[in-house]
Structure 1
Amino acid sequence: MGLMLALRKRFGFILKLFFKKDKMRIGIYGPPNAGKTTLANRILRDWTGDVIGSPSDVPHETRRAKLREGVKIEVDGKTLTIDIVDTPGLATKIDFQEFLKYGLDEEEARRRAKEATEGVIEAIKWLDDLDGVLLVMDATEDPFTQVNVTIVGNMEARNLPLLIVANKIDLPNASPARIKSAFPQHPVVPISALKGINIDSLYKAMAERFG
């Protein structure tokens, strides 16, 4: 089993060139509150009329990965069929006191912190079952963080096709250019998942990257 995983990591990209899948499993990753669930909901609303979850201002609201299968995206006459995995926010440290700021009592805050930590572990495990990743970053914040660098490095080590989504460009202090400068080796698509701004460019980039 360990040998097969090592071969997959080393030669996965080459194998995918020869054995194209009818359906791609795409994970939506990123730090807490970057807009992962909002993006998942935008994609599902546009192509299925459904949603995958409820966004929240409270960090780590998504504490378990959610899977939606068989979403068909049509771009320029080409159909891309994907399974969407909305994952918990990744963090290098989760402190229960972070949740106290949002009015939760200590018992609830500790429970949420424990579940959020378990969610991070689950999100990392999902990487073994993915064909590509949408990495969502908040374009209003400094992208060069330990979390983002760790996520990108992990996905590069696994040879996973990566598309960075610079979200929240509807906000006045957004700067997608900072994200492009921080990670020039990967394509970056600026969008607002909430407002749907430039979302067609994202679908086109997804078809090119994952199709």
Structure 2
Amino acid sequence: MGVISQFKNFFGKLFKKKNACIGIYGPPNAGKTTLANRIVKDWKDDDSEPVGSVSHIAHETRKAQRHHKLEIESKGNKICLDVVDTPGLATKIDFHDFMKEGMGEKESKQRSKEATEGVIESVKWLDDLDGVILVMDATENPYTQVNVTVIGNMEARKLPLLIVANKIDLPESDPEAIKEAFPQHPFIGISALDGTNMDTFYEAIAKQFG
């Protein structure tokens, strides 16, 4: 199936509702919040608050953040979305990892607890979503337990799924590896940080609901 056909199939299912609610999912530090902030920046006025803060430390986002009624328009086509930035998904959270980042033991244990609660919240959100954007780090091996588990979960729920390979601006990125790993789903490579390929991302979304 060609890329355009995949997008038509994905967004044709996703945007049957007038105002669809999509979740941005993925492992920690894949760039989920950076993407959510980019979408808000591109489609809201300059005074809009970002969806969330970003950090090099994993699990910076520990509570889901929802931004309502983002109107995205491209080439005369328009859609209206609620975007939910979710905490990073992980199969294991160890407070020692936070201590390695310079946090004290008490703070690290609290951070680990909050991160675990965030994973649980992310899974619960799946019951209320119309579709999912799954963000993966294009500089990392896509065959991780987290990615395989997440995709299997979403396939079981029959949720429309778009895979986004983020950080393609980095020289060590390999977005094609992600595309080849999960060819059954529509895919696009972007850099949420510097905006690379975001126009194509928005066009692929908006044309299906315009």
Residues 79-131 of structure 1: per-residue CA shift (max 9 Å, x gap): 11000000000000000001011110000000000000000000000000000
1:199 and 1:206 mapped to 2: Cα distance?
Answer: 11
Which residue does 2:3 correspond to in 1?
A: none
1:132-171 correspondence to structure 2 within 5 Å? 132-171=131-170
What TM-score do you get using the length of structure 1 for normalisation? 0.89
Which residue does 1:93 correspond to in 2?
A: 92
Alpha-carbon shift at residue 204 of structure 1 (Å): 2.0
Alpha-carbon shift at residue 208 of structure 1 (Å): 5.4
Contact kept, 8 Å, 1:139 with 1:174, in 2: the verdict is yes
Residue 102 of structure 2 corresponds to residue 103 of structure 1: yes
SS in 2 for 1:136: strand
Superposition misfits of 4+ residues, deviation over 6 angstroms? none
Contact kept, 8 Å, 1:66 with 1:85, in 2: the verdict is yes
Contact kept, 8 Å, 2:27 with 2:89, in 1: the verdict is yes
Residue 31 of structure 2 corresponds to residue 32 of structure 1: no
Which residue does 1:48 correspond to in 2?
A: 44
Contact kept, 8 Å, 2:78 with 2:209, in 1: the verdict is no
Change (3 A) 1:149 1:210: farther
Residues 136-187 of structure 1: per-residue CA shift (max 9 Å, x gap): 0000000010000001111111111111110000100000000011000011
SS in 2 for 1:92: coil
1:157 and 1:47 mapped to 2: Cα distance?
Answer: 32
Contact kept, 8 Å, 1:163 with 1:206, in 2: the verdict is no
SS in 1 for 2:112: helix
Residue 72 of structure 2 corresponds to residue 76 of structure 1: no
Contact kept, 8 Å, 1:161 with 1:209, in 2: the verdict is no
Structure 1's unaligned 5+ residue stretches are 1-12
2:200 and 2:159 mapped to 1: Cα distance?
Answer: 21
Structure 2's unaligned 5+ residue stretches are 1-8
Which residue does 1:172 correspond to in 2?
A: 171
Alpha-carbon shift at residue 188 of structure 1 (Å): 1.1
Contact kept, 8 Å, 1:34 with 1:136, in 2: the verdict is yes
Which residue does 1:5 correspond to in 2?
A: none
Alpha-carbon shift at residue 201 of structure 1 (Å): 1.2
1:68 and 1:181 mapped to 2: Cα distance?
Answer: 32
Letter in 2 for 1:34: A
Contact kept, 8 Å, 1:64 with 1:119, in 2: the verdict is yes
1:81 and 1:103 mapped to 2: Cα distance?
Answer: 42
Contact kept, 8 Å, 2:74 with 2:207, in 1: the verdict is no
1:92 and 1:99 mapped to 2: Cα distance?
Answer: 16
Contact kept, 8 Å, 1:23 with 1:83, in 2: the verdict is yes
Deviates more, 1:196-205 or 1:147-156: 196-205
1:148 and 1:208 mapped to 2: Cα distance?
Answer: 28
Alpha-carbon shift at residue 209 of structure 1 (Å): 6.6
Contact kept, 8 Å, 2:138 with 2:166, in 1: the verdict is yes
Which residue does 2:123 correspond to in 1?
A: 124
Identity of aligned residues (%): 64
1:208 and 1:151 mapped to 2: Cα distance?
Answer: 27
Letter in 2 for 1:30: G
Contact kept, 8 Å, 1:132 with 1:210, in 2: the verdict is no
For this pair of structures, how many residues does the alignment match? Answer: 196
Contact kept, 8 Å, 2:75 with 2:207, in 1: the verdict is no
What TM-score do you get using the length of structure 2 for normalisation? 0.89
